[in-house]
Chain A
Amino acid sequence: MSPLPLIAALLRADPGLGGVVLRGRAGPAQTAALDVCASALGPLTALHPAMGPEALDGEVDAAASLASGRVIRTAGLLARGPVLRLPSAERTTPWLAARLARHLDGCRSVLIAVDEGIDAEALPQALAARCAFHLTLPDRAEPLGPVPPEGDPPATVTVPEALLSEIVTLAATLGVDDPRGAMLALRAARGLAALAGRTAVTLEDASRAAELVLAPRATRLPEPPPEASDPEAPSETETRLPEDILLDAVRAALPTDILAQLARRAARGATGQGSGAKRRGNRRGRPLPARAGGAGNGRIDLVATLRAAAPWQTIRRRAAPERRGPIFRQDDLRHRRFEETSDRLLIFTVDASGSAALARLAEAKGAVELLLSQAYSRRDHVALVAFRGTGAEALLPPTRSLVQTKRRLAALPGGGATPLAHGLREARTMAVTARRKGMTPTIVLLTDGRGNVALDGTRDRAQAAEDAQRVARGLRGTDAIILDTGARPSPTLRRLAETLDAPYLPLPRADAQRLSQAVDAACAS
């Protein structure tokens, strides 16, 4: 049964728990979940993931201000209701995440974040860390039980010292490094006890809290319990440590695809994906000073216009005493201007197969590092895809952290077959996602071109080459550059480059300067 009604009751009793992240696609399950939240917590104030400070904190109400001759501010959304609903939470801007995080720290609001992200897209870590509960919604609606009644909660709930240490130890075992995890679990345990009318937290409360709060945050799989090999197993249950009971609760709550999730999380770095990686590449919002100018087709910046007109009002009124309200002239008008720069994303797609030979792999890594330092000076984003053996893997989602990129690259093992088509396909997926976020992706492919694994996984050189060509055709229009790391230039790769309309550089003859020129050229186009 879904723990959502219980979660809603806990949040109702203690807003300090921050909120709940509901992860799942839009659908009946999501609607039902939001209904439960609303029934327990009261009306939800809807936010928008890209909203700006004006809407959130209030702004000057231009019409009312003009009418009354004094500044009237509208109340922001944060002032409206204590329960906030953030739809499409995976698209939250870093600014909004920071602002909401500060708001939540004040324990004044409860956040219900609806995260509809796919794969690595997720709510910014700053917010996720402050929401006690993380829940993956089922694909189809399931009946949700009633929200537990408020009852008569005791004034204070104590936590036995032993349970406190257990919770912290468990958090450490599960690799939950942020102290907020343990803190929120503790708080949830208190809330559970209060809901049941108890004045002290019991082991049962603690294990339920661990299951709700710590399990979704786990970055490490706990050691499996030792096999009950000895026949005296039954007596073991009596001597079981509380820690084991907590651990079992968490283990039961871990989703079945935990390994895949862990792998994904590992790819995002130990502390999860930061808001930095989620930054909108296209900083549409960077406003420039408003510009004076009469008839333009841009949006009028009302505040700037008022500012420009304000100092003259007294004089103008003297000239035209019969006019009411502020008097504007053509040259008071100011237009909003935005600087729109699209961030570049370099997707390094690195062949780590055995045929790329380990020595060449080292050279390829060297080449990537060279390009990385250029990316640093241009403040580009970089991402890393590696392919070897039977498939490709996104080692690093788009980030600006070069230290991380370099670390991942250095740790990249080599060996196995060459699934070139898989690598290209992975790079394409990433490029598509990046473009959706407003970035301009460029794929940098480093391989010897000796692809020998077809997309269906069979070892067939001809089919592999055919598949690679097919994926490449789908990539047309995306900037790319191919660095041939083979000992001899490969004709297959040259054909691939032609398909992609990408510059082709055999690495043996590509010195640093040519490399950088080629990348510059690819990026400039």
Chain B
Amino acid sequence: MTHPFPFSAIVGQDGMKTAMILTAVDPTIGGVLVFGDRGTGKSTAVRALAALLPPIEAVRGCPVNSARRADCPDWATDLGKGTHSIATPVVDLPLGVSEDRVTGALDIERALTLGEKAFQPGLLAAANRGYLYIDEVNLLEDHIVDLLLDVAQSGENVVEREGLSIRHAARFVLVGSGNPEEGELRPQLLDRFGLSVDVASPKDIDDRIEVIRRRDAYETDRTAFLLRWQAEDAALRARIVAARKALRAVDTPEAALRDIAGLCLALGSDGLRGELVLLRAARAFAAFRDDTAVTRTHIRAVAPLALRHRLRRDPLDEAGSDTRVERVIEAELGA
């Protein structure tokens, strides 16, 4: 694919952009779910983010993009010498994809010609150390969802079929998008996403005009448009790289932990995943803003992203989860 739309040139949609940047700073946050109207730039943002991220070093010919030779799976053949830098992988998981294609399966060609049992890696292998993007995630077939749940949880893909017994690392940031009017997402899958955002078409007419103007410029004179936004994207990339480095040094005071726990308790979110995600997101946000310690400002900024989809809620409840989170934040952390 040729150059995607620049990330910095996306008009508005701050929640979505923040969420995506946070997962780029700390991939262990665990993915973003973007729900909203059609044509709000969901797919554009994912592709733009991948193009924005710095390249990764990977062993040549490694099917799972391992950084070191020791990490390459033992079934991998044709490994090259040394490493090379590749773009952060973004793998599309299309609807209707077969199980074989996702997990990988017996390589028919090698089996036919050489009579040997070889493994042909699937999409999960290709997405290792990168992004796995599922458009219309709410329409995904249940049996594929089950597969993903398992792998997203363990970070490892285990294939036991056709006499093959294969395992390989599959750590990726899951990005899902969809339109809630077309169907609900299974709660189990919902829970696996670290952050979630709702996007809507811009309500402001000037914003709308700006969206069309930029999109039009991108489509009619791509080179000039990319050049125009190059500097912004580069600056953002530098901030993300710096934040990744700073992440370890960000201090998490006792008070911040207490705030996070209090918030999750007050919202009645199930399990501890909410706390963990909120902590990581707040830390990533602090690092991104070049702050040295997690404070209430950071927690307040990312709490809706991390918690809005974790409320134990009546499935029929109107989508008022944002307001509920806001209210609890007000109550717990003060205005």
Contact = CB atoms under 8 A, between A and B. Distances in A.
Same complex for A and B? Answer yes
Interface of A: 16, 52-53, 60, 65, 69-71, 93-96, 98-99, 102, 106, 125-126, 129, 156, 159, 164-165, 167-169, 171-172, 177-183, 186-187, 269, 271, 274-277, 279, 283, 286-287, 289, 303, 306-308, 310-315, 326, 369, 372-373, 376, 399-404, 406-407
A16 B39 CA distance: 16
B208 A182 contact: yes
Contacts of A60: 108
A310 B208 contact: no
B213 interface: yes
A186 B216 CA distance: 8
Contacts of A94: 95-96, 136, 139
A461 to B, nearest CB: 36
Contacts of B318: 403, 406-407
Given A183-B216, A186-B216, A169 B205 contact: yes
Contact of A275 (B94, B105, B139, B208): B139
B108 A303 contact: yes
A369 B316 contact: yes
Contacts of A16: 219
Given A271-B181, A399-B183, 16 more contacts: A53-B96, A69-B113, A96-B96, A98-B135, A102-B92, A102-B135, A164-B213, A171-B208, A271-B38, A274-B179, A279-B183, A313-B111, A373-B315, A376-B316, A400-B182, A401-B184
B234 interface: no
Contact of A99 (B94, B181, B182, B184): B94
B47 to A, nearest CB: 10
The 8 closest A-B pairs by CB, nearest first: A276-B182, A95-B96, A310-B111, A274-B182, A314-B115, A178-B39, A276-B183, A71-B109
26 contacts: A53-B96, A71-B108, A71-B112, A94-B96, A95-B96, A99-B94, A102-B94, A102-B135, A168-B208, A177-B39, A179-B40, A179-B212, A271-B181, A274-B182, A276-B139, A276-B182, A310-B112, A313-B111, A313-B115, A373-B315, A400-B183, A401-B180, A403-B318, A403-B319, A406-B316, A406-B318
Interface string B157-186: 000011100000000000000011111100
A452 B30 CA distance: 59
B38 A183 contact: no
Interface in B96-118: 96-98, 105-106, 108-109, 111-117
Contacts of A404: 181
Given A126-B38, A276-B182, A95 B113 contact: no
A378 to B, nearest CB: 12
Interface string B209-247: 101110110011000000000000000000000000000
A404 B182 CA distance: 10
A402 B138 CA distance: 14
Chain B, interface size category, equals 35 or more
Secondary structure class of chain A's binding surface, majority of residues = helix
Contact of B212 (A98, A168, A403): A168
A214 to B, nearest CB: 13
B191 interface: no
Nearest to B215: A183
Contacts of A407: 318
B112 A277 contact: no
A52 B112 contact: no
A233 B312 CA distance: 62
B81 interface: no
Given A98-B96, A159-B216, A178-B37, A165 B209 contact: yes
Contacts of B270: none
B96 A311 contact: no
A453 B239 CA distance: 70
Nearest to B314: A373
B201 A307 contact: no
A314 B70 CA distance: 32
A507 to B, nearest CB: 20
A271 B37 contact: yes
Contact of A125 (B38, B92, B183, B220): B38
A178 B115 CA distance: 53
Contacts of B117: 311
B330 interface: no
Nearest to B40: A179
B143 interface: yes
B103 to A, nearest CB: 12
B178 to A, nearest CB: 9
B141 interface: yes
A279 B1 CA distance: 30
A285 B141 CA distance: 11
A407 B162 CA distance: 49
B138 A276 contact: yes
A156 B222 CA distance: 13
B182 A98 contact: no
A402 B316 contact: yes
A165 B209 CA distance: 6
Nearest to B138: A276
B316 A172 contact: no
B212 A306 contact: no
Nearest to A107: B219
Instruction: Point out which of A99, A177, A406 has the most chain B C-beta atoms below 10 A from its C-beta.
Output: A177
Instruction: Point out which of B1, B98, B111 has the most chain A C-beta atoms below 10 A from its C-beta.
Output: B111
Contacts of B208: 168, 171-172, 179, 182
A315 B211 CA distance: 63
Contacts of A400: 182-184
Contacts of B37: 177-178, 271
B216 A98 contact: no
Contacts of B181: 269, 271, 274, 276, 399, 401, 404
A276 B38 CA distance: 13
Instruction: Point out which of A95, A171, A303, A315 has the most chain B C-beta atoms below 10 A from its C-beta.
Output: A95
Nearest to A98: B95
Contacts of A93: 96
Contacts of B316: 369, 372-373, 376, 402-403, 406
Contacts of B95: 94-95, 98-99
A75 B113 CA distance: 21
A450 B212 CA distance: 55
Contacts of B219: 16, 187
A310 B136 CA distance: 36
B113 A179 contact: no
B109 A70 contact: yes
Interface string B304-315: 000000000011
A129 B184 CA distance: 22
A167 B208 CA distance: 10
Instruction: Point out which of A94, A159, A303 has the most chain B C-beta atoms below 10 A from its C-beta.
Output: A94
A70 B39 contact: no
Interface in B78-134: 92, 94-98, 105-106, 108-109, 111-117
A369 B94 CA distance: 34
Contacts of A307: 105-106, 108, 111, 162
A403 B318 CA distance: 6
A165 B204 CA distance: 12
B201 A177 contact: yes
B277 to A, nearest CB: 24
Contacts of A126: 38, 136
A303 B50 CA distance: 35
A463 B195 CA distance: 59
